[in-house]
A and B are shown apart, each in its own frame.
Chain A
Amino acid sequence: MNLNLFLLIPGLTAVAVLLLRQQSQVRMLALAGSVVQLVLAIWVTAQFLALPQATTPGAMAFVSEYSWYPSLGIVHTTGVDGVSLSMILLTAVVVLAGVLVSWKVTDRFQSFFFLLMLLSMGAYGFFIAQNLFVMFFFLELAVIPKFLLIGLWGSGKREYSATKLVLMLMGASALVFVGLAGLYYGQSDASAGFNMQALAASPLPLASQLFFFPFAFIGFGVFTALFPFHTWVPDGHSSAPTAASMFLAGISMKLGGYGALRVATFLMPEAAAYYSPWIVLLAAIAILYGSFATMMQTDLKYINAYSSVSHTGFVLFGIGMLTKTSLQGAVLQMVSHGLMTALFFAVIGMLYERTHTRQVEKMGGLLKAVPFISTVFVIAGLTSLGLPGFSGFVSEMMVFVGSWERSGIFYRVATVAAAASIVVTAVYILRAVGSVIMGPVQHEAYLQFEDATWTEKLAAVVLIAAILFIGLAPFVMNGWIEPGVQSVFQQVSAAGGR
């Protein structure tokens, strides 16, 4: 089993898309490519579960190495554990749904699907990387497609949003670079190069950790909307075309969370323990600020974008708390938020295509007009506010329970404050759902709308199935990610943190 298939398939699909001329051919090819990705992801997971590595903390499965720039310690090393596999599954599901909702893209469709595939390739490459350079390469690879997707197919002030997004994300990766260089030169084991396992085995001296941890953590944090660097999120998401919003919120923001866990916390555990209160503080601010800011929004995309700030705040909150349960909750929240927000953006895109507005107050009574889409909208909303049975409940619950394990008045207060945001979430979600789909039909023309097409239905069904899978049987995925998180936790406890 060679994990580089995850690079090969999107790569080949991307190139093949450029060779075709008909829109119908291009989108069928993209669909085929993404179905293959999903099948591959499921198959790899099934294979992985049969291996001993599936239950051993810190063990990587399917490891392969290709020498790239050997003299600098740059080796194309790939390998997965349960945490990365969850991310890969998430990516595959969101890519499939993203391709399905982009069925009607007619303007420069070749470049559109090319960039989507390039973006997914970047995400896969990032998640399978076991070498910091490779990880960094794919992290940056995934940025420029976003810029072009927003700038070329976006709406509203797309140029401004695209530029803001790309500059903030590239700035973030510049910070990550400083962290990587620090790890590279600071290690005691000179042969480690950029190899993550070797770097984890010989951590930096405390002083260097304290200096370089903020670079790495803030760098990855920007990707995950770390307060106060979250400002690219609302603009970027709201200007992006539907599929790009789904990719951005569903996959890209997870790159940051994964990196913060795998690079910053795993490789610099003592510094993670040292800076833990600050991370918790910033994350708690993001959670509260995000949810209150959402209350003020009237544009559906802005509502989801700000609520994403709040929800991904839980990821950083869980990482900052550094207990095993909270770390597990953070990983699960990444998957859950990825699915939920992708579903939300997909359904917003469907509504916008029909009503040509995203303003909450201009819509109403859509349940009568488009029952399927409205139902999906309700499901997305309920997942977002954390109703039991959906994935959001499980992951947020785990973050809270894990946070409560951490003693200390500051952490208790922060946990209570973060938990309080759930109420605010309920307010804005219920208000949006109520005014969009309930009430009298706002416009005669609404009754003429066509309900979801088969592609839109399929996209929604795939995402909802995944959400329900996590929501109803959380122990399954939890079992996969537990050993991976365990290794991070061991690292932190060994470093004398908690």
Chain B
Amino acid sequence: MWTDILLLMRTEMMLILIIFLLLFWKLGGGGRVQIVQAVVNGGLVLALLLGFVLSDSGELFGHMFRTNDLLRLEKNMLVLAALLVSLLASQWVAAHRHAMEFYLLMISTLLGMCFMLSSANLLMFYLGLELASIPLAAMVNFDLQRKQSAEAAFKMIVSSAFASGILLFGISWLYGTTGTVDFDSLATALTGSPLQVLGVVAVLAGFGFKMSAVPFHLWTADVYEGAPVPVTAYLSVLSKSAILFVFVSVLYTVFGSMQQVWYIVICVLAIGSMLVGNLFAMRQQNMKRFLAFSSIAQVGFILVGVCGVNATSSAAVVFFLLVYLFSNLGAFAIVQHISQSTGKETIDDYRGLARANPALAWLLAIALFSLAGIPPTAGFFGKFFLLLAGAGKGTWFLIIVAALNMIVSLYYYLRVVKAMFMETQASRTGGLCGRYFHHGFVWRCLRVYFQPHASVEALLLILLFHAVWLSIKIILLKN
């Protein structure tokens, strides 16, 4: 039994270990930030390695917790993303008074996500979800001096609590009508009676809030803008991916028999998210708000893939999220780097960046091209598979709308590229200009690559292309 627990829950155990280590260390007075970072990053790397070594599946605690290859892969993706966020936050955290608490909160949410993924029971799922969302609000509040940060945290906690309430309400309907919260027995017990439909719709609304699909997206932009950049990156990649992973599996397995109820709902959510996300992203000036709306649009594209309802679509969603993880974190890494060195965050500030610092500009351009889905970046494959999977049901209207939305999204991603490459005015990112401009090209590249947080970007870039090959495995795994 104990060996089973240790083996099947090894990612979670590792995260718990880090949490306890940090807690006791804090009690003992704490240490230097660099050492804390090294320990946290090391722990995450170890968790990642542990996740990759064995492939096993099984369940624990009377069908509360389950794991299999796909879940393990998803957890590994989350741990990797957390590691990347931790790296890109390193400079910012090092200057912060509460470095240790930041890592504590971050690992706790990660633990919550892992439990949520592995849940085979609505209660367990809810527990994981709450563990994943409440510490997030504290993380959003981490720029202690900025009022917007506190405001964002407040918005986050209120809307998150509201969403959880609705979700719980839906869960109670389902429990009330079927008498079970276990996923497998729910799947067979659902008959499609009106009360159950109500429950399903409430659960879907709760999911919608968490993944910020339109019309449940209103909190997103403000929270993303107010939060510190690394936390925004964390929110837009990790919490979104985790909830989408669970969403797909719950939708396909637990609510599989009620497809006629939710299919049209998901289609509408997808179209709404793409349209609203894209149209609002076009008008944004602040890079963080821009990425926030673009991530709403990306959720729309993912939901198009979800609408395919077959094995290909769940594989396509996982693959897209893998790509999205790298491209979005890549974009955030550079936004964070520029914001940290110059304090500038609007698109106008990026003018002439290509002249001042070509390496950074090209990296950001590649990340944005990947988000826009342009070959040869991995984003192209992600989008292609999503839309192809979405077409499987033959809802061509949805596919046409999605394909046209690709163009709209391309327009605003290119806006940033244009600002960086084609503006002839003097760069407004003066700090960067001064720091890099006078050296030779090679020296400049070296400077960029060997700064700890900028090396993340290089890493991301490499991984971005590797993601293409990784995907072969995922799709094989599913089919």
Chain A positions within 8 Å of B, measured between CB atoms, are 21, 69-72, 133, 136-138, 140-141, 143-144, 147-148, 151-152, 158-159, 162-163, 166-167, 170-171, 174-175, 177-178, 181-182, 184-185, 211
Q: Are A167 and B407 in contact (CB under 8 A)?
A: yes
Q: A140-B374, A174-B406 are in contact. Are A166 and B414 (CB under 8 A)?
A: yes
Contact pick for B422, options A138, A144, A151, CB 8 Å: A151
Question: Are A171 and B387 in contact (CB-based, < 8 A)?
Answer: no
> Which B-chain residue is minimally distant from A136 (CB atoms)?
B384
Residues of chain B contacted by A162 (CB below 8 angstroms): 418, 422
In the complex, 7 of the A-B residue pairs with CB atoms within 8 angstroms, ordered by the A residue number, are A71-B478, A158-B422, A174-B403, A177-B403, A178-B400, A181-B399, A185-B392
What distance in Å separates the Cβ of A430 from its nearest Cβ neighbour in chain B?
38
B218 within 8 A of A: no
Any chain A CB within 8 A of the CB of B394? yes
Q: In the complex, which residues of chain B have a beta carbon less than 8 angstroms from the beta carbon of A144?
A: 369, 374
Q: Which of B381, B392, B410, B422 meets A166, CB within 8 Å? A: B410
A72 touches B388 (CB 8 A): yes
Q: What is the distance, in angstroms, from A183's C-beta to the closest C-beta of chain B?
A: 11
Q: Which B residue sits closest to A171, measured CB to CB?
A: B407
* B475 with A69: CB separation less than 8 A: yes
Complex contact B475–A71 (CB within 8 A): yes
Of the residues B369, B404, B418, contact of A163 by C-beta under 8 Å: B418
Q: Which chain B positions have C-beta within 8 A of A138?
A: 375
List residues of B (199-242) whose CB comes within 8 Å of A's CBs. none
Q: How far is the CA of A166 from the CA of B418 in the complex (A)?
A: 12
The interface residues of chain A lying within 8 Å CB-to-CB of B394 are: 185
Q: Which residue of B lies closest to A147 (CB)?
A: B414
Q: Is the CB of A167 within 8 A of B411?
A: yes
Given A170-B410, A171-B407, A174-B403: A71 and B380 within 8 A (CB)? no
- A140-B374, A144-B374 known; A174-B404 Cβ under 8 A: yes
Q: Does B476 contact A (CB under 8 A)?
A: yes
Tell me the B420-479 residues at the A interface (CB within 8 Å): 421-422, 441, 471-472, 475-476, 478-479
- A residues in contact with B476, CB < 8 Å: 70-71
Complex CA gap A148/B396 in Å reads 33
Task: Identify the closest chain A residue to B418 (Cβ).
Answer: A159
Cβ–Cβ < 8 Å partners of A148 in chain B = 421
A66–B293 CA distance with the chains assembled, in angstroms:
39
Can you name 8 extra interface pairs (CB under 8 A) apart from A138-B375, A147-B414, A170-B410? A72-B385, A141-B376, A162-B422, A163-B411, A167-B407, A167-B411, A182-B391, A211-B396
Q: Please list the residues of chain B having a beta carbon within 8 angstroms of any beta carbon in chain A.
A: 312, 369, 374-376, 380-381, 384-385, 387-388, 391-392, 394, 396, 399-400, 403-404, 406-407, 410-411, 414, 418, 421-422, 441, 471-472, 475-476, 478-479
A185 near B391 with CB under 8 A, answer yes
Taking CB atoms, residues of chain A closer than 8 Å to B472 are 69
CB distance from B378 to the nearest CB of A (A): 12
7 closest A-B pairs by beta carbon, nearest first, are A174-B403, A181-B391, A71-B479, A141-B375, A171-B407, A151-B422, A71-B475
Within the assembled complex, what's the spacing in Å between the Cα atoms of A71 and B406?
A: 25
Question: Taking A163-B411, A185-B391 as contacts, is the C-beta distance between A152 and B421 under 8 angstroms?
Answer: yes
**Chain A residues whose CB sits within 8 angstroms of the CB of B385 once the complex forms:** 69, 72
Report whether A140 and B375 are in contact in the complex, using a CB–CB cutoff of 8 Å: yes
Distance between Cα atoms of A465 and B478 in the complex (Å): 55
A181 touches B422 (CB 8 A): no
CB neighbours of B422 from chain A (8 A) = 151-152, 158-159, 162
Q: Given A141-B375, A148-B421, A175-B403, answer yes or no on A72-B380 (Cβ-Cβ < 8 Å).
A: no
Distance between Cα atoms of A183 and B286 in the complex (Å) = 41
Interface centre among B385, B388, B475 (most CB of A within 10 A): B388
Instruction: Give Cα A71 to B319, complex, Å.
Output: 14
A181-B387 in contact given A137-B380, A170-B406 (Cβ < 8 Å)? yes
Contact with B399, one of A136, A158, A178 (Cβ below 8 angstroms): A178
Q: Which residues of A contact B421 (CB under 8 A)?
A: 148, 151-152
Bound Cα distance from A211 to B392, whole angstroms = 16
**Residue of B at shortest CB range from A194?**
B388
Q: Which residues of B contact A181 (CB under 8 A)?
A: 387-388, 391, 399
Nearest-Cβ distance from residue A404 to partner chain B, whole angstroms: 38
- Residues on A with beta carbons closer than 8 Å to the beta carbon of B475: 69, 71-72
| Nearest CB of B to A65, in Å | 16
B362 CB, min distance to chain A CBs, angstroms: 9
C-alpha spacing A166/B374, complex, angstroms: 11
- A177/B404 in contact, CB under 8 A: no
Q: How far is the CA of A138 from the CA of B374 in the complex (A)?
A: 10
**Is the pair B471, A69 in contact by a Cβ cutoff of 8 Å?**
yes
The minimal Cβ–Cβ distance linking A433 to chain B, given in whole angstroms, is 35
Known: A69-B475, A137-B375, A140-B380. A167 touches B410 (CB 8 A): yes
Do A177 and B376 touch across chains, with their CB atoms under 8 A apart? no
Q: Complex Cα distance A177/B404, Å?
A: 10
Residues of B within 8 A of A72 (CB): 312, 385, 388, 475
Min distance, Cβ B407 to any Cβ of chain A, angstroms: 5
Cα A144 to Cα B379 in complex, Å, equals 14
Complex contacts, B414 vs chain A, CB 8 Å:
147, 163, 166
CB distance from B476 to the nearest CB of A (A): 6
How long is the Cα–Cα vector from A140 to B376 in the complex, in angstroms? 9
Chain A residues within 8 Å of B410, by CB: 166-167, 170
Residues on A with C-beta less than 8 A from B404 are 171, 174
A70 to B474: give the CA distance in the assembly, Å: 12
Interface centre among A133, A143, A159, A177 (most CB of B within 10 A): A177
**B406 surroundings in chain A (CB, below 8 A):** 170, 174
Contacts of A167 in B (CB 8 A): 407, 410-411
Q: Which residues of A contact B388 (CB under 8 A)?
A: 72, 181, 184
In whole angstroms, what is the CA distance A171 to B414 when docked? Answer: 14
- Which residue of chain B has its CB nearest to the CB of A121? B376
